[in-house]
Structure 1
Amino acid sequence: MPRYDFRCRSCGATFELRRTMAQANDPAVCPEGHTDTTKLLSTVAVTGGAASSGAQAAPSGGGCCGGGCCG
């Protein structure tokens, strides 16, 4: 089940709730009981294991396209 982060506008508490995607935009109550909350945008970090599957990992580096090929 997805986790969603919220912040309470009344007390400033940040908290997380697990709920279905259908409930993602439903109102949330903070742990202190306040109802004036807002859902925060979350970032997801994915680390791969491409090299362990026998595939060659793409080179990393600077530049606008990750490989420095843009001049």
Structure 2
Amino acid sequence: MAIADRLKEHSIEAVHELKEMNLEVIMLTGDNWRTAKAIADQVSVDHILAEVLPEDKAHVIKRLQTEGKT
């Protein structure tokens, strides 16, 4: 049995537009690494932070912001 997340309809286009704006796209998800990688590959996201617990996501975002990523 396999369960897979579905890609949102406009995800590929949205990521492409963000990259066209010279923005670094980072996927931050609670999904397991394999699922996150499969989705990231479909939308051309190179940076993945997977298996992040909901209560840790704000910390991760703050850390990224202190590193100059907004």
TM-score (norm 1): 0.20
The structure with the largest strand share of the pair is 1
Task: State the structure with more CA Rg.
Answer: 1
Q: Which has the higher contact order (CA 8 A, sep 6+)?
A: 2
